[in-house]
Structure 1
Amino acid sequence: MTVALDSNEAPAWRTRARQMLAPEFVTPAILLAPSVLLLLVVIAYPMVQGFFFSFTDGSLMKGGDVVGFENYTKLLTSPAFWHSLRFSAIFAACNIAGCYLLGLGLALLLQMDMPGRGVFRVLLLLPWIVPSLVSIVSWRWMVNDEKALFNQVITLFGGDPIYFLSNSNWAVTIVILIKIWRSFPFMMLSLLAALQSIDRSLYEAAAIDGATKWQSFWNVTLPQIKNISIVLCLLMTIWSVNDFDTPWLLAQGGPANATENLVVLAYRYTFARNDVGMGAATSFVTLFVLMALVFFLLRLQRRS
């Protein structure tokens, strides 16, 4: 039994086929093919392999047997996971808030016409330019023990030395402050570019209507930089949750795992405890958490 095609359906199918084989489609596809292949080899294959490892009980030396969701069940019932998740959330929230407030304040200051503005811009970019290993090790040298630079200054003024990296509360505070110090230049530079793209006529209209500087900032500046602010907070969230350098190089996740985030926990499972399955499961739970945050922030941006 044959089915007759509609007279308009066959020509439409042929038209789409001809469009896909047209040079303006084939040429970009050929040019993009090596990049797509490279991305599949470098990103897709390791991710698929890592996802498979999260369902096994293998080690670094040999592959293990498939254990299903046992690694995820063990991870989600582990107090260490919930502690790392809580610290990751606090670490990311404090970093985003600190970087945004500091970055926006400095961006507003650098937008003003003042002498030496170019020099200040270069100097304020230094924390972002210096390699993380150099900057974090330098900070560790300044706060490590009673003979560190900060404690020498405290002692000079008659105070008692503070063991910044031996006390849990101080260690968390120092890790967050150093992360803000390393990250705010990117926020500052991006917000400065956004501020300079705002149409000056909006401020002139606000001034004609009798708006004060605070009202202009609240009703003109903030709405104009809202979308870029959401994107920056999204990027800063991803970078904060995935930050391994700051908590590890500064305090190795200590003391007493106080500064252990999800990435450090995955590192410990994989390389310290030789449990690749748990390490991979921790990494993919982190990925799922970040995907949920990205979905929420992108929906927020779409609504705005």
Structure 2
Amino acid sequence: MTNDWHALYDEVKLLGEFGSDAQVAESLGLTRAQISAWRTGKSELGTLAKLRILDALGQDTLRSAVLSLLPHRNRALLEEQHLALVARVSRGRLALLESSADAKVNTPYVNGLLAALPAEDQARIGPHLTSMALQPGTVVYEPGDRLERIYLPATAVFSMLQVSDGGVTTEIAVIGRDGLLGLAAFLGGEPVSTRAVVQTGGLTYCLDVDFARNELARGGQLQDLVLRFSQALITQMAQTAICNRHHPVFQQFCRWLLLSLDRLDSNALPVTDDLIAQLLGVRPATVSEVAERLQSMGAIRYDGRRVEVLDRHSIEAQACGCYRVVRREYKRLLCDA
């Protein structure tokens, strides 16, 4: 399987709590210019940097190879630097896993579908789960891609977007700990026709797509949950289409904000003007206008990089009925199942 080095680099950045690409680059022994050239597709990431990323993310079987490839000049300092990176990322992963576990103390899984499985199914599937930390804005897949894994979000939130021939995007669904991303792999619909983007960074569980298909074919509770989630997701997509066609952007923004909050434990969303504009298919200036309107009502605090909800009831009062339809169906199909 080919590694997505940009996603892995972002995972190191998130887990290590680095504030910028440049800070990660320094820990990898690279310059800002080198990282900038790689990020923009002008150069490739070097072998040593790739190995250091993989080692930092837990593939410690590569440790000896990494250390042997370090330049002889200042080798001791470089070894210390690399081991510090590994320790920093490891601490971040442990903290993220612990915070996710604390979110739901009665189950080892934060994801609702995994948590609803019988203990026997959890015991069989659990060893095949891997965890991945994702940064906001990360593109998980594009139209035309074939899926290699199924994503079961814990603290991360994904957005599914439809992309027009002209490149215009509009969000069609929000997926968080209530469900899974990658439904097309179960429905025979590959390659995918949508784009998936990380809306809110955090942790997600992953399952190899072939293993997940085999598990679904066994029938039982997993199949029932996936079918129920599919129906709920179809409802969300249909209601979003109605909302985008018939309701003003202000109400669309309220619907989107409420659906996103339902999938988080926090009342704050670290999200930018540009990302919200991409999700809603509008200009960033329009996002600023509707956000400022809600802020003037005392419902949110907004600075262009973060939305903090101060009065959820006010937002619900301003939202159209689309939000309530979607929430009711998710509750009926998944919470009351």
TM exceeding 0.5: no
**Rg (Cα) greater in structure:** 1
TM-score (norm 2): 0.27
| Structure ranking higher in helix proportion | 1
Higher relative contact order structure (alpha carbons within 8 Å, sequence separation ≥ 6): 1
TM-score (norm 1): 0.30
